[in-house]
Structure 1
Amino acid sequence: MIERLTRNPLALGGAFVASALLGALLFALIQAWLPGLGKRAQIERVVRDYILQHPEIIPEAIDKLRAGETVKAQQAEAEARKALPGQLAAVQKPYGSAWAGNPTGDVTVVAFMDYACGYCRASLPAIEELLSKDPGVRIVYREFPVLGPESGVAARWALAAAEQGKFRAFHDALYAEGPPSSETIAAAAAKAGLDKALAEKAIRSRPVEAEIAANHALGQKLAMTGTPSWVVGGELLYGARDYAGLAEAVAAARKAR
């Protein structure tokens, strides 16, 4: 078990947190039970020796922590699905030209994405295949920068491109260039043929700032903790999807109409 934890950074982080919590709890208990024990160093030594003698309590604590987090996530997703109908109009309304496919399609697929997200990049072929095979689908792209300041800058440039009717050109070019940086954003803007002066003005504008803030607010209401996240028809999906997964969700949305 310990070997598996060391190969998993998230689990290892959880182990450190669990160890710290266990240590703090044991410290408090020992101090309460044995007030005469005195110095902190003595109590810490007792706690350390106990954990070393009973290492099985660490994975047990991690499992309990994970179970609690899973329940919380399930509850949040259930609340998000209840909230979605009231948010659907805002979710499906694109910013400028940040959409693709059939403008009057019978199913709208909304993709919340971050240009620094590898899973978003991995989902791009699935979106393209869906567009090529299903003439009744409309894709709406929502900028959802959650992976750092460079993601935020890239999102602003994408919205500036959307104002110029060149969202897809910029979107595709930036993903082709690589992770967002000043160099890749500039290269993508040039490839997309953006008016640089207009774009630089737009990225600092209130509408662009308001759009990103609105997307983050929507993401919070819909329990989106990462990218990509999706709204297909009236259904929420989380995580990367291949073509089969998106096509299945679209078919389910049509059936539910």
Structure 2
Amino acid sequence: MNRIGVSLVLLVAVGAGLLALTPVPRAEAEGRVKTDFTPQQEQQIEALVRQYILEHPEIIPEAVAELQRREVVKVLETYRADIETPFPGAEAGNPKGDVILVEFFDFRCPFCRKSHSDLKRLIKEDPNLRVVFRDLPILDREGAEPLSRRAAIAALAAAKQGRYYDLHDALFSAPGRMTQETLVTAVREAGLDEKRLAADMNDADIEQEIAKNLQLAGNLGLSGTPTYVIGDQIISGAVDYNDLKEAVAKARAAKAGK
């Protein structure tokens, strides 16, 4: 049992002991009678709790972390179906994998680019991993060419040809910053039908998907890219292969009840 668990057991035991001393009946408004602490007992409990916290202040950040974890789990459970259900074709790995890794990313994000090779390696080495991509074009600057959104729209349109990940990989594997020329080159490297792609880029369902991703990011309180959702974990920022692998292993163990 961790320190928080021990502390809670201790406090419950103390509370139970004090309650057993001299329970006092208290009349409720509905006419029922309830046993409650006396003011003296409450003071004793408060003093013991205060003393324990002063002697073991490390339990405070542990308790805060646990509270935050529970809040994350609650939010994820509320939106899990939307988070883990991909735009048709916007995924990689095993579609029946036992663990789903969701990445919120922007094609212009340098940290997403940096993490791409690690995620690509993980997909290759873990045959039971399903990766869902959520395009989150948030890095376009006002007045500048909207390359983040254009690349996201192109990638989602490529999904209609079954080549989402081909374009995704080509864009992140291209050297230097993304430009319009980079996007055109990546489209050709991915072997896409360019005329069909141009037509599909105007489909309303693609704009709806991007709007949905932006809304999900807001609901989850995401502040940047990349952000990964793996099981009950939200991991933000550039992480390496080992971090991703550990998070997947943790989600897999939790699912197995270990």
Task: For 2:181 and 2:233, locate their aligned partners in 1 and report how far apart those are by CA, in whole Å.
Answer: 37
Alignment correspondent of 1:90? 82
Of residues 133-142 and 215-224 in structure 1, the stretch that sits farther from structure 2 once superposed is 133-142
Q: One-letter code of the match for 2:133?
A: Y
Deviation at 1:253?
0.5
Q: Which runs of 5+ in 2 are unaligned?
A: 1-66, 141-145
Deviation at 1:147?
0.4
Q: One-letter code of the match for 1:118?
A: P
Alignment correspondent of 1:197? 195
Deviation at 1:234?
2.7
1:161 lines up with 2:158 in the alignment: yes
Of residues 172-181 and 90-99 in structure 1, the stretch that sits farther from structure 2 once superposed is 172-181
Q: Aligned pair count?
A: 184
Deviation at 1:79?
4.9
TM-aligned CA distance change 1:205 to 1:80, over 3 Å? farther
Moved over 3 A (4+): 75-81
Alignment correspondent of 1:136? 128
Q: 1:111·1:142 contact (CA, 8 Å) conserved in 2?
A: yes
Per the alignment, in what secondary structure is the counterpart of residue 177 of structure 2? coil
Task: For 1:251 and 1:243, locate their aligned partners in 2 and report how far apart those are by CA, in whole Å.
Answer: 12
Q: Report the structure number with the largest CA radius of gyration.
A: 2
Alignment correspondent of 1:211? 209
Alignment correspondent of 1:42? none
Task: For 1:150 and 1:80, locate their aligned partners in 2 and report how far apart those are by CA, in whole Å.
Answer: 32
Alignment correspondent of 1:176? 173
Deviation at 1:166?
0.4
Q: 2:107·2:151 contact (CA, 8 Å) conserved in 1?
A: yes
Alignment correspondent of 2:224? 226
Q: 1:80·1:223 contact (CA, 8 Å) conserved in 2?
A: no
Q: One-letter code of the match for 1:136?
A: N
1:19-168 equivalence runs, <5 A: 79-148=71-140, 149-168=146-165
Per the alignment, in what secondary structure is the counterpart of residue 227 of structure 1? coil
Percent identity over the alignment is 41
TM-aligned CA distance change 1:116 to 1:76, over 3 Å? farther
Q: Which runs of 5+ in 1 are unaligned?
A: 1-74
Per the alignment, in what secondary structure is the counterpart of residue 97 of structure 1? coil
User: TM-score, structure 2 length as denominator?
Assistant: 0.67
Per the alignment, in what secondary structure is the counterpart of residue 122 of structure 2? helix
RMSD over aligned Cα, in angstroms? Answer: 2.0
Deviation at 1:78?
7.1
Q: 2:72·2:233 contact (CA, 8 Å) conserved in 1?
A: no
Q: One-letter code of the match for 1:168?
A: Y
Structure holding more helix per residue: 1
Q: Deviations 1:151-174 (Å, cap 9, x if unpaired)?
A: 011100000111110011111111
Q: Deviations 1:168-227 (Å, cap 9, x if unpaired)?
A: 111111122243322111111111121222211222221000000000000011111110
Deviation at 1:80?
4.9
Task: For 1:78 and 1:84, locate their aligned partners in 2 and report how far apart those are by CA, in whole Å.
Answer: 10
